[in-house]
Structure 1
Amino acid sequence: MPAASPITAIVVAYDSAEVLPACLSALAGEGVPAIVVDNASGDASATLARGLGATVIANAHNEGYGRANNRGAASCATPYVLIVNPDVEIRPGAAEALLAAAERYPDAGMLAPRIVEPSGRVFLQPRSLLSPPHLNRSGAIAVPTGDACLPFLSGACLLVRRELLLSLGGFDPAIFLFYEDDDLCRRMRDAGHALVHVHEAEAGHGRGRSTAPSPGRRFKARWHLAWSEGYVAGKYGLPRPAVAKILENLAKAAGYGLLLKSEKMFAHAGSAAGALAWRRGRTAMAREGLEALS
């Protein structure tokens, strides 16, 4: 990449000190400057990021993935932003390949590299709750052998035209966690912009390593997953999550509690609680004490 890169990377960190050095070093190797938006980490994420040359926006509270990315995008001035999870390492040449593809496909609103997991599996996200039923086909997913338009791209690594992102309002600020990338992809497509999988660009992704796990975080994650599912269903006029599923999760939580399997108990309890909260009209931001924030 040239010295004055047209790309700024936005990395949202939350207790991500274990994986940030590799992520930021890979970006630096591509000549891509990084803004780390630290969501009130309890570890050394912010200090590490500064030491590695990144600009740091230190949030006083954990504002969630979408809002934090919006803050990063609003604070930079480059034509493109590269949204990167802290457990993602872009491979050599990936930034240039993404930028070349953006110039090659001017109708593309967002572009994503091939995302390769530690097992060597290429992760794709062509199915979604927000996708038309005819696109949500069961069975194995064929990995593209070249550039391809897809109905959805993973939010783990996305190149986005900054002005377009801002014109669409960025990520939906009502969503704290989960489905925010699906929602943005849906709005991009509805606005007439293609979503392009770029074959020549590659990034490694250590899935689930962005934040250290704990039973409390498992409950919170599943709460937000269930709440966000209800929220986006309502937003796009899709069927509401079934009451039977809530009851099933409550029963499973009780069963795993009796078996002293705390991680599974917290997971199913979180799913039931998040769905119930959405049905009762409680917002994700209210749960996190963020409603007063802009």
Structure 2
Amino acid sequence: MTSSPADITAIVVAYDSAEVLPACLAALAGEGVRVLVVDNASGDDSAAVADRCGARVLRNASNQGYGRANNRGARAAETAFILIVNPDLELGQGAVAALLSAAEAYPDAAAFAPRLMEPSGRVFLQPRSLLSPPHLNRAREVVLPEGDACLPFLSGACLLLRREVFLALGGFDPGIFLFYEDDDLCRRLREAGHALVHVDGAEARHARGRSSAPSMTRRFTARWHLAWSQYHVARKYGMPLPGLARIAENAFKTVGYGLILNRDKMMAHAGSVAGALAARAGRSALARQGLDEAEVMS
């Protein structure tokens, strides 16, 4: 049976994303897919913007994090496929058709990603990961696939998934608030016997880092979670934990940037130190955000 855009629900997790949502949602509408925006308690009018653009909106009472919000969207969807889309991403014309064609051509695959173009014109490809076997992390230069290609990891910025497979695996790890949730999902998909396909005929433009309005506090929080999530996935898969030398290096940089009054970088490195120390002490990322450990089901 041939699939169509009607078989896809695009899930867009928004958090203070009002500035970038209109272009993202317009591109999805142009591809003919229904859109579900999960608003993570934005302080701006993201939910209202999504509503005006014709999207179905689910409002979280608090910021649940990227993966948990996507899980809620996946449970609310009723289509065979879900399309995870960052709010600062715009699908190119024909991208959905190309992704669906790949899904039909490769029935053993469960995840499909388009070619991600950055504003500079560079193609973003994720050939390496903390969760990748060492022999796949040796390449120093990114070699772009010629045509469709199976890859060990795909970016969660835009990802077509078979909904049934995604839910059967438990979706994104609900213990992660931010970072490495896509790497973790890709590893679990591969371990369950599913291929991951980079679809050369599909293209999307990704602004990277513009999903939420920037601030020093958010940079601290982002780097806190990046450091914490590295420890989380390392423990999850029995990998060596990041060393104390990295904490010391970030602490040194925190002091150094503080001395030259570069508050932005000072906060970033301070966040890395705090997140790593919290992880080593056994604190959870969800507790830091004031969230319950249980997955939100409503």
Q: 1:90 is matched with which residue?
A: 91
Letter of the structure 1 residue corresponding to residue 42 of structure 2: S
Question: Structure 1, residues 76-122: CA drift from partner, whole Å, max 9, x if none?
Answer: 10000000000110011100110110011000010000011111111
Q: 2:125 is matched with which residue?
A: 124
- Structure 1 residue 248, shift from structure 2 partner: 1.3
Matches within 5 A, 1:58-137: 58-137=59-138
Question: Structure 1, residues 224-283: CA drift from partner, whole Å, max 9, x if none?
Answer: 000000000000011011111111111110111111100110010000100000000000
Cα distance between partner residues in 1 of 2:171 and 2:135: 27
CA contact (8 A) 1:3 1:31 kept: no
Q: Is 1:38 matched with 2:39?
A: yes
Matches within 5 A, 1:206-285: 206-285=207-286
Q: Is 1:159 matched with 2:143?
A: no
Matches within 5 A, 1:160-179: 160-179=161-180
Matched pairs, number:
294
Cα distance between partner residues in 1 of 2:145 and 2:248: 40
Question: Structure 1, residues 133-191: CA drift from partner, whole Å, max 9, x if none?
Answer: 00002321111120000000000000000000000000000000000000000000000
CA contact (8 A) 2:4 2:100 kept: no
- Structure 1 residue 2, shift from structure 2 partner: 8.7
The DSSP-based 3-state class of the residue aligned with 1:5 is helix
Cα distance between partner residues in 2 of 1:202 and 1:292: 37
Cα distance between partner residues in 2 of 1:244 and 1:119: 34
Q: State percent identity of aligned pairs.
A: 69
CA contact (8 A) 2:3 2:100 kept: no
Q: 4+ residue runs of structure 1 moved beyond 4 angstroms?
A: 1-4
- Structure 1 residue 292, shift from structure 2 partner: 5.4
Letter of the structure 2 residue corresponding to residue 56 of structure 1: V
RMSD: 1.3
Cα distance between partner residues in 2 of 1:20 and 1:148: 30
Cα distance between partner residues in 1 of 2:3 and 2:103: 16
What TM-score, normalized to structure 1? 0.98
